[in-house]
Amino acid sequence: MMTYKGYAARIEYSEEDECFVGHIAGIRDVVGFHGDSVSELKTAFEEAVDDYLAVAEKTGRPAQKPFSGNMRLRISPETHARAAMYAEASGKSLNTWVADLLETHTH
């Protein structure tokens, strides 16, 4: 994953444009960039983040922060109890068990 100043990039290949196209991930504002190579893409991403932060400062509108890593879920008490049971059976805390599960299924 490409990261810079706490922001992450979401990158795709555009067959139509024959280049890599990216967006800053984890924020609602849409900030895009592109490049023909990995080094161009990395430079463009860093410039996009720097520009985003500069515009936010110049306009007085706070830049959105990327996801913090803290997440709250609303689930049924029965699901919560089963998850806690599976976590305990695997020798993990519920937080670690869920984080491992999400990590496994989001890659």
How large is the average pLDDT for residues 46-74? 90
% of the chain at pLDDT higher than 90: 64
* C-alpha to C-alpha distance for 71 and 103, rounded to whole angstroms: 14
- Tokens representing 25 are 């991930």
State the Cα–Cα distance between residues 87 and 94, nearest whole angstrom. Answer: 5
What value does the mean pLDDT take over residues 76-82?
A: 90
* Centroid of chain to Cα 78: 30
DSSP classification of residue 46: H
Mean pLDDT of the residues in the chain: 91
pTM of the model: 0.66
What per-residue string of b and e applies to 13-30 under the rule 16 or more CB within 10 Å gives b? eeeeeeebbbbbbebeee
